[in-house]
């Protein structure tokens, strides 16, 4: 693997050159937290964040999007709405890239989702290794400290400079045309290894007390436990754990019609399995009416159903759910460790 | 099909919800084009008792209100409670937690004897209500959505998820993170989390979701420093009537 290097003093120029040619989005500070947003000047871009409130999934599956517009009379006419303006996502942590890689598989299987895939194709992802660990993160234990694919460039802060790993041809030309890289020396490459292992070590303070490959079996034996009712008694059913999760992708689809009752659009918006009406159908029947059944479902999704599909947990250890849950019952580390304790 | 005939009425309220209808601006013209408004004191002269849909703002606070509301109910095929006073009882119900003679004197002074009043209540405490549009004030886009649903013969869909959902979609930083407290986790969404988006917190004006976890919300508020009295106050501001009704 050939690594490049750009001096920190040259980073602003790199970012500015990208801004000149592309829509660039990256992490910005807001009220003491971090959010992805449009970057208009290099000073706005933050690369030493610990974790954003909302994951980058919003770029591929927006909170609300129009799928198509329709006219119902004289004859039904449907015009698909596809957004695919090229853009750069600058500053994505490996665990979020892992989540995007999972989403790419989910949205491409079966009937591929053109809305997601178009946006995904239009994106150039510049990853960055974390320099800080959010209090509830456990991505190192989830095998998401580094990723080998899913990025066009990957930056690592080694002090006075950034090591740049090239992940695609697009990334290579982006770097060559917009920055002044030089090949990284062997020592500099070794520094990257050291830095990555130090930050992973800090993150490993949180994690499962048992191998995560045992989670599906653990869940298979836990369906009827009172444990779920106990945990879920505090659940506000607010869906926050779903909405901030980089691997939760459920949505609701509705038609919005204009007052002329002829023109309208079909939209989809984020949904979440913790919400009361998530499994409610047209007859009024609700297949998961109790808090406990919805709460349990989320962990079965992450640790069993999607595990079978992805051969990995649908959790990358970002810890967003844990830090956003007001009654603090959403943390996968706490939950699976307790469940395991309970089994003994 | 003839255009549905629509009438607006108000009881104890600030009439701010009807103002939101007028504030539809361009959409208002479309609404007026799609329906026939036969009575709307805040916006027009003239009145008719021949209408299909009645939008009623305000809560019921005296016996004479009941008679008038029953009259509206008899005329209307569909009766819609417009806003939190009509749908939930709203902030008018705060007076229900005080001695009625005391609140009368507080408001009317030495003329208190001249005024009739009783504990405030939502419309549904007096007559059957077909649909509720909560909010203080209502979200005017939601009002337009309800009108469209009626025109299509569909049941309008008001969200049954809490404000937290709309906060996440708007990428608001959680109010609790900012050192304030919020009724968002148990409050019905549909407002687009407008108060939090503008830097405040959710007051709970749209009432509670269908199956609120009030116990957990009380715990959360208490953990964030609210006293039992403060917590009660947060719940009572808009949904005090249902507290007494239980």
* A182 and A328 belong to one structural domain: no
Residue B1 confidence (pLDDT): 61
* A116 and A237 belong to one structural domain: no
Provide the percentage of residues in chain B whose pLDDT is more than 90: 83
Residue A343 confidence (pLDDT): 80
**Rounded-to-integer distance, Cα B97 and Cα B240, Å:** 8
What secondary structure letter does DSSP report for A280? B
Residue B190 confidence (pLDDT): 97
* A54 and A165 belong to one structural domain: yes
* A29 and A163 belong to one structural domain: yes
* A145 and A289 belong to one structural domain: no
**Rounded-to-integer distance, Cα B198 and Cα B180, Å:** 14
pLDDT at B245 over 70: no
* A103 and A19 belong to one structural domain: yes
Q: Which residues span the domain enclosing A302?
A: 212-252+270-343
Residue B2 confidence (pLDDT): 81
Partner-chain contact A259 B173, CB within 8 Å? no
Question: What stretches of chain A adopt beta strand conformation (E)?
Answer: 3-7, 23-30, 33-38, 64-71, 77-80, 87-92, 123-128, 153-157, 161-166, 182-183, 251-257, 263-270
Backbone angles phi, psi at A328, to 5 degrees: 55, 55
Instruction: Check if B31 contacts A (Cβ < 8 Å).
Output: yes
Instruction: Check if B25 contacts A (Cβ < 8 Å).
Output: no
**Rounded-to-integer distance, Cα A246 and Cα A243, Å:** 8
Instruction: Check if B161 contacts A (Cβ < 8 Å).
Output: yes
Q: Is residue A264 part of a domain?
A: no
CATH (residue range B5-152): 3.40.50.700
Note the Cα A145 to chain centre separation in Å: 14
Chain A, 49 to 108: residues with Cβ < 8 Å from chain B are: 53-54, 58, 63-64
Task: Write out pLDDT tens, residues B183-212.
Answer: 999 999 999 999 999 999 999 999 999 999
Q: Are A315 and A247 a contacting pair, CB within 8 Å?
A: yes
Residue A181 confidence (pLDDT): 96
* A245 and A142 belong to one structural domain: no
Which residues from chain B sit within 8 angstroms of residue A31, using beta carbons? Answer: 173, 177-178
What count of CB pairs under 8 Å joins A to B?
103
Task: Write out pLDDT tens, residues A301-333.
Answer: 999 999 999 999 999 999 999 999 999 999 999
Residue A196 confidence (pLDDT): 97
Partner-chain contact B165 A326, CB within 8 Å? no
Provide the percentage of residues in chain B whose pLDDT is more than 70: 98
Residue A324 confidence (pLDDT): 98
Residue B41 confidence (pLDDT): 84
Which residues from chain B sit within 8 angstroms of residue A235, using beta carbons? Answer: 213, 216
Give the pLDDT band (50/70/90) at residue B59: very high
Which residues from chain B sit within 8 angstroms of residue A274, using beta carbons? Answer: none
pLDDT at A206 over 90: yes
* A159 and A36 belong to one structural domain: yes
Least confidently predicted of B62-76, B81-95, B100-114, B209-223: B100-114
**Rounded-to-integer distance, Cα B77 and Cα B86, Å:** 18
Residue B244 confidence (pLDDT): 59
The pTM (predicted TM-score) of the whole model is 0.95
Query: Where do we find the tokens 């890689």?
Result: A101
ipTM here: 0.95
pLDDT at B25 over 90: no
* A51 and A159 belong to one structural domain: yes
Which of A34, A36, A136, A237 should be substituted to probe chain B, the one whose Cβ sees the most B Cβ atoms within 10 Å?
A237
pLDDT at B30 over 90: no
Residue A161 confidence (pLDDT): 96
Task: Write out pLDDT tens, residues B117-126.
Answer: 999 999 999 9
Helix (H, G, I), strand (E, B) or coil at B44: coil
Residue A225 confidence (pLDDT): 84
Instruction: Check if A241 contacts B (Cβ < 8 Å).
Output: no
Nearest to A152 by CA among A90, A60, A83: A90
* A198 and A225 belong to one structural domain: no
> How do strand B36-39 and strand B53-57 relate by DSSP bridges?
unpaired
User: Average pLDDT for residues A257-285, to the nearest whole number?
Assistant: 95
Structure token digits, residue A260 = 């002329």
* A109 and A190 belong to one structural domain: yes
Report the number of distinct structural domains present in chain A: 2
**Rounded-to-integer distance, Cα A204 and Cα A333, Å:** 12
Instruction: Check if A326 contacts B (Cβ < 8 Å).
Output: yes
Residue B230 confidence (pLDDT): 95
Q: Which of B148, B169, B173 sits opposite A257 (nearest CB)?
A: B148
Which residues from chain B sit within 8 angstroms of residue A257, using beta carbons? Answer: 148, 152
Residue B146 confidence (pLDDT): 94
- The domains of chain B are located at 5-152, 163-245
Task: Write out pLDDT tens, residues A47-72.
Answer: 999 999 999 999 999 999 999 999 99
Partner-chain contact B144 A259, CB within 8 Å? yes
Q: Is residue A262 part of a domain?
A: no
Instruction: Check if B151 contacts A (Cβ < 8 Å).
Output: yes
Give the H/E segment covering residue B10: strand B5-10
Q: Are A235 and A275 a contacting pair, CB within 8 Å?
A: no
Residue B246 confidence (pLDDT): 46
Q: Which of A261, A272, A275 sits opposite B151 (nearest CB)?
A: A261
pLDDT at A79 over 70: yes
Residue A1 confidence (pLDDT): 66
Partner-chain contact A269 B160, CB within 8 Å? no
Instruction: Check if B33 contacts A (Cβ < 8 Å).
Output: yes
């Amino acid at each position: 693997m050939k690594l490049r290097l750009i001096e920190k003093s040259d980073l602003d120029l790199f970012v500015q050159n990208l801004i000149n040619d592309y829509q660039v989005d990256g992490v910005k500070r807001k009220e003491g937290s971090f959010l992805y947003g449009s970057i208009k000047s290099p000073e706005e871009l933050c690369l030493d964040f610990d974790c954003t409130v909302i994951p980058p999934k919003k770029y591929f599956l927006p909170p609300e999007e129009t799928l198509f517009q329709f006219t119902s009379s004289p004859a039904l006419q449907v015009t698909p709405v596809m957004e695919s303006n090229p853009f750069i996502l600058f500053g994505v942590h490996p665990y979020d890239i892992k989540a995007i890689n999972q989403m790419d598989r989910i949205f491409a299987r079966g009937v591929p989702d053109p809305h997601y895939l178009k946006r995904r194709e239009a994106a150039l992802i510049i990853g960055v290794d974390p320099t800080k660990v959010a209090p509830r993160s456990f991505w190192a234990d989830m095998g998401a400290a580094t990723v080998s694919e899913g990025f066009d460039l990957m930056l690592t802060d080694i002090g006075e400079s950034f090591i740049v790993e090239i992940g695609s041809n697009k990334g290579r030309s982006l770097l060559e045309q917009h920055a002044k890289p030089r090949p990284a020396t062997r020592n500099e490459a070794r520094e990257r290894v050291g830095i990555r292992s130090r930050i992973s070590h800090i993150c490993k303070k949180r994690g499962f007390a048992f191998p995560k490959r045992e989670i599906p079996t653990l869940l298979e034996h836990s369906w009827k436990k009172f444990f779920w009712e106990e945990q879920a008694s505090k659940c506000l059913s607010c869906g926050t754990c779903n909405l901030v999760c980089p691997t939760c992708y459920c949505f609701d689809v509705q038609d919005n019609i204009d007052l002329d009752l002829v023109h309208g659009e079909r939209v989809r918006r984020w949904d979440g399995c913790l919400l009361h009406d998530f499994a409610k159908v047209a007859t009024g029947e609700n297949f998961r009416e109790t808090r406990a059944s919805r709460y349990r479902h989320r962990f079965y999704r992450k640790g069993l159903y999607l595990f079978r599909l992805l051969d990995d947990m649908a959790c990358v250890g970002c810890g967003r759910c844990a830090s956003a849950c007001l009654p603090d019952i959403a943390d996968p580390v706490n939950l699976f460790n307790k469940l395991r304790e309970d089994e003994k | 099909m003839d255009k549905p005939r629509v009438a607006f009425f108000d009881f104890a309220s600030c009439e701010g919800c009807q103002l939101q209808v007028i504030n539809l601006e361009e959409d208002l013209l479309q609404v007026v084009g799609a329906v026939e408004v036969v009575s709307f004191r805040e916006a027009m002269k003239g009145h008719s008792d021949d209408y299909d849909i009645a939008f009623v703002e305000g809560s019921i606070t005296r016996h004479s209100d009941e008679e008038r509301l029953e009259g509206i109910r008899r005329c209307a095929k569909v009766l819609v409670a417009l806003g939190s006073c009509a749908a939930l009882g709203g902030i008018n119900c705060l007076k229900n937690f005080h001695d009625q003679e005391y609140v009368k004197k507080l408001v009317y002074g030495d003329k208190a004897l001249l005024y009739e009043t009783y504990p405030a209540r939502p419309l549904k405490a007096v007559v059957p209500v077909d649909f509720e549009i909560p909010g203080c004030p209502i979200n005017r886009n939601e009002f337009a959505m309800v009108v469209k649903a009626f025109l299509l013969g569909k049941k309008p869909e008001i969200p049954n998820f809490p404000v937290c959902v709309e906060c996440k979609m708007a990428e608001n930083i959680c109010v609790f993170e900012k050192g304030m407290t919020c009724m968002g986790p148990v409050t019905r969404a549909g407002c687009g989390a407008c108060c939090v988006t503008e830097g405040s917190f959710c007051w709970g004006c749209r009432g509670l979701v269908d199956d609120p976890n009030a116990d957990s919300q009380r715990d959360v508020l208490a953990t964030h420093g609210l006293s039992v009295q403060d917590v009660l106050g947060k719940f009572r501001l808009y949904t005090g009537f249902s507290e007494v009704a239980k």
